[in-house]
Amino acid sequence: MILTRRDFGKLALAGVPSLAGLSSIALAQTAAKPNRSYINGVQFGLQPFCYHDLAMNRENRPILIQRLVQNGLGMVELHAVWYEPNFVGPGVSAEEAREKLRNWRLNPPAGYFGGIKKEFDDNGITICTVYVNISDSYTDAEIDATFEGAKALGAKGIVGSYGLAVAHRLSAFPGKHGMYASLHNHDNLSDPDAFSNEASIVKGLAYSPDFTATLDVRHFTAGNGDCLGFLERHHERVSAVHLGDRRKNNGRSTPFGEGDAPIIEILRLIRDNQWPITALLEFEHGTLRPAVDEVQLMFDYCKRALA
């Protein structure tokens, strides 16, 4: 029997138990034997924005780690807000908060990043990339410090939602630190600065040999892009995909298998060609299930696609 993407989704809903009541003993057993989430030729990880109910801050980092362990994911793309302090507060202006953050980045506490790396390492989780939205407000020293912090966390590169102009400025930095900077696309086809289609991503990649692409499958599909064709043509410059589902023609985000993104075909293309492209699970669709359960449904869908 040939299963469609939607058939896969129905099986997921019918077959996965709720994880909300998983015992602490079971969690401890999972943590003792970490799952590196390398499944039949494809390395999986998570874009932890997926845990929509969990505020992204330093205080919640232990919960983030616990959830990654619970979902059996051994790789993560870590937003900077999970480890950087937030100086916004009563009596502190936006300008003051921004300056305080800049000073912190230039003078982080000794051993700070190594301690955070150990938190993840101890639970069998690798920080593959750091997600940070570098902008024109960053000084050159701040950009260097951002790369150094990411490197100390064990990341191989940084990624963010910046456009062509920032990427052009950024092109001189990753190579100095033995890292890469990844270009992340959105579906804003009307913005000439945005990475939104194949031509704009290729233009950005030409700025530096130290640039890679993180192909956001949801956004590329919504913008009527050809994900499979892009990967076939540019796989040597693609470090990761943000793997989610969405309808074409700028349509809505959907559960895996209910949209137009060729998720199954992408995974099999990566597997069959042995491309070192990380599949980072990501979703934005609404759900009544706990986020950790929704992530598990996504991951199980992908596992069946590669079975």
Query: CATH number of the domain that 173 lies in?
Result: 3.20.20.150
Residue-level length of the chain? 307
Tokens linked to 87: 């100086």
For 160, phi and psi rounded to 5 degrees?
-170, 175
Secondary structure of 95-108 in HEC code, one letter for each residue: HHHHHHHHHHHHCC
Give dist(CA 79, CA 57) in Å, integer. Answer: 9
Ranking 50-54, 127-131, 224-228 by mean pLDDT, the lowest is: 50-54
DSSP characters over 159-173: EES--HHHHHHHTTS
The answer to whether residue 22 sits within a structural domain is no
Query: Domain range spanning residue 177?
Result: 5-11+27-306
Please give the Cα distance from 21 to 67 (Å, whole number). 12
* pLDDT bracket for residue 36 (50, 70, 90): confident
Q: Summarize the confidence of residues 61-89 as an average pLDDT.
A: 97
Assigned domain for 16 exists? no
Tell me the C-alpha distance between 121 and 142, whole Å: 26
Question: Is it the case that residue 256 has pLDDT exceeding 80?
Answer: yes
Round to whole Å and give the CA distance between 20 and 78: 23
Residue 102 lies in a domain: yes
Stretch 195-209: mean pLDDT, rounded?
Answer: 98
Is the pLDDT at 8 greater than 60, yes or no? no
Q: What percent of the chain has pLDDT over 70?
A: 89
Q: Would you say the pTM of this structure is higher than 0.95? A: no
Q: Which amino acid is at 52?
A: H
Average pLDDT over residues 77-86: 97
18 within a domain of the structure (yes/no)? no
Is 153 within a domain?
Answer: yes
pLDDT band of residue 19 (cuts 50, 70, 90) is: very low
Count of structural domains within the chain: 1
pLDDT of residue 62: 98
For the residues 43-59, what does the mean pLDDT come to?
95
> Is 208 part of a structural domain of the chain?
yes
Cα-Cα-Cα-Cα dihedral sign, residues 20, 24, 25, 31: positive
- Does residue 280 belong to any structural domain of this protein? yes
98-119 confidence digits (pLDDT tens): 999 999 999 999 999 999 999 9
What is the number of alpha carbons within 13 Å of residue 29 lying toward its C-beta? 5
Closest CA to 295 of 51, 65, 9: 51
Name the least confident of 22-26, 58-62, 136-140, 192-196.
22-26
CA distance 209 to 236: 11
Res 2: pLDDT: 36
Residue 288: its pLDDT value, please?
86
Share of the chain above pLDDT 90, in %: 86
- What is the average pLDDT across 31-59? 85
Q: Does residue 302 lie within any of the structural domains?
A: yes
Q: From residue 201, give the alpha-carbon distance in Å to each of 162, 242, 248.
A: 12, 15, 19
| 58's tokens | 């330093």
